[in-house]
A = this chain, B = another copy of it.
Amino acid sequence: MDIIRHAGQAPLWRNLASRLLNQTAILVGRVVSDALAVQGTHRYQLAVLATLDAFGAVSQAELCRRTNIDRSDMNAVVNALESEALVTRVSDPEDRRQNIVEMTETGKARFESLKAGLAEAENRALAPLARADRRELLRLLRILHDYHAAPPASAEGPG
């Protein structure tokens, strides 16, 4: 059909959905990460801030579930956020295993600031797609994502 050869890639490699997904995720991710980096923030940190903004003070374990971040990494992320006074971490008096993480006013301000930058970055990242195409892309990605996202603790174990 249409011979595109913007760098000359092997057909199999070029047509591999996984590669295309990966490569595009990198390029798009870079635009977003740059927008975050301007404010000295990482993707993981944004995930946590967004989760706290949406669900209020929750435990680290809860953050892990909602962000799909590993416990080990979550610890480091909360450390970083805490050292910047963007969140507080206190031991839950009702269950002393847990730490309750809560956003500070500084954290909220940072988050609002990040949101603005993010909106612009996303817009720049998706620039070549019309509104309908953006929605379609997100729809398809969501299908794929939800399909592969392991449903844990259900009755859907490996046959």
B24 near A28 with CB under 8 A, answer no
Copies in the complex: 2
Given contacts A146-B4, A151-B6, contact A20 B138 (CB under 8 A): yes
Given contacts A12-B115, A13-B50, contact A146 B21 (CB under 8 A): no
B128 near A143 with CB under 8 A, answer yes
Q: Which residues of B contact A152 (CB under 8 A)?
A: 7
Q: Which residues of B contact A115 (CB under 8 A)?
A: 12
Whether a CB of chain B sits under 8 angstroms from the CB of A80 is no
Max chain B CB contacts within 10 Å: which of A15, A27, A118, A142?
A27
Q: Which residues of B contact A18 (CB under 8 A)?
A: 25, 28-29, 31-33, 121-122, 125
Q: For chain A, which range describes its interface: under 10, 10 to 19, 20 to 34, or 35 or more residues?
A: 35 or more
| 24 A-B contact pairs sorted by A residue (CB < 8 Å) | A6-B149, A7-B65, A7-B152, A10-B50, A10-B54, A13-B46, A13-B54, A13-B67, A15-B138, A16-B122, A17-B122, A17-B134, A17-B138, A18-B121, A19-B43, A19-B47, A20-B141, A20-B142, A21-B29, A22-B29, A27-B144, A27-B149, A137-B140, A137-B141
